[in-house]
């Protein structure tokens, strides 16, 4: 038997003086290594950027500065689209934002289909669904624009 502490026998030598009668606590006072994730911030940045683009394209800045009416009304029916290209209703910008978001989702599905390069059925299904949603979104924006003019 040796007179060394159990920590010193394991290969760790300590410079802190300690009374041999008491057990030495095994607390490590090193600063922890904190590593920042590399994937998550890029995904969040792209999501915020996409939201900002959809917000601007849908007329969000106009809605914040002008505070437009929610929806127009004539004597006989409701009008969701303002008949002038210089003004808009709030519901009109919400519908346009939904169409822009739908189109962005379609482009994402087309991009996501490239992950299934060796699974032909899944890849083609995602491409077809993505292209159909982009076409629906484009058609919706064109119909909304035709109502406007």
Q: What is the pLDDT of residue 117?
A: 86
The closest of 35, 93, 15, 21 to 59, measured between CA atoms, is 93
pLDDT average, residue stretch 135-141: 95
pLDDT for 1-52, tens place per residue? 555 555 444 445 567 677 777 777 777 777 777 776 666 677 788 888 999 9
% of the chain exceeding 90 in pLDDT: 32
pLDDT for 94-107, tens place per residue? 899 999 999 999 99
pLDDT average, residue stretch 57-82: 78
Q: What is the pLDDT of residue 72?
A: 74
Q: What is the pLDDT of residue 78?
A: 76
Q: What is the pLDDT of residue 127?
A: 95
Q: What is the pLDDT of residue 88?
A: 82
At 74, is the pLDDT very low, low, confident or very high (cuts 50, 70, 90)?
low
> Would you kindly state where each structural domain of the chain is located, as residue ranges?
82-149
Q: Which of the pair, 113 or 9, is modelled with greater confidence?
A: 113
pTM as predicted? 0.66
Q: What is the pLDDT of residue 130?
A: 96
Q: What is the pLDDT of residue 42?
A: 76
Q: What is the mean pLDDT of the chain?
A: 81
Q: Are 102 and 135 in contact (CB under 8 A)?
A: no
SS (H, E, C) the chain: CCCCCHHHHCCCCCCCCCCCCCCCCCCCCCCCCCCCCCCHHHHHHHHHHHHHHHHHHCCHHHHHHHCCCCCEECCCCEECCCCCCCCCCHHHHHHHHHHHHHHHHHHHHHHHHHHHCCCHHHHHHHHHHHHHHHHHHHHHHHHHHHHHC
């Amino acid at each position: 038997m040796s007179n060394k502490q159990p920590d010193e026998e394991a290969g760790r030598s300590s410079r802190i003086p300690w009374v041999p009668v008491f057990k030495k606590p095994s607390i490590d006072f090193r600063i922890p290594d904190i590593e920042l994730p590399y994937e998550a911030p890029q995904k969040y940045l792209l999501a915020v950027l996409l939201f900002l683009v959809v917000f601007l394209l849908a007329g969000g800045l106009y809605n914040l500065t002008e505070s437009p009416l929610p929806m127009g009304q004539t004597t006989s029916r409701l009008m969701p689209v303002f008949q002038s290209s210089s003004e808009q209703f709030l519901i009109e910008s919400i519908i346009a934002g939904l169409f822009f978001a739908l189109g962005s989702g379609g482009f994402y599905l087309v991009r996501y289909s490239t992950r299934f390069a060796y699974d032909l059925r899944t890849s083609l299904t995602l491409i077809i669904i993505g292209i159909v949603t982009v076409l629906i979104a484009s058609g919706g924006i064109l119909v909304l624009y035709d109502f406007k003019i």
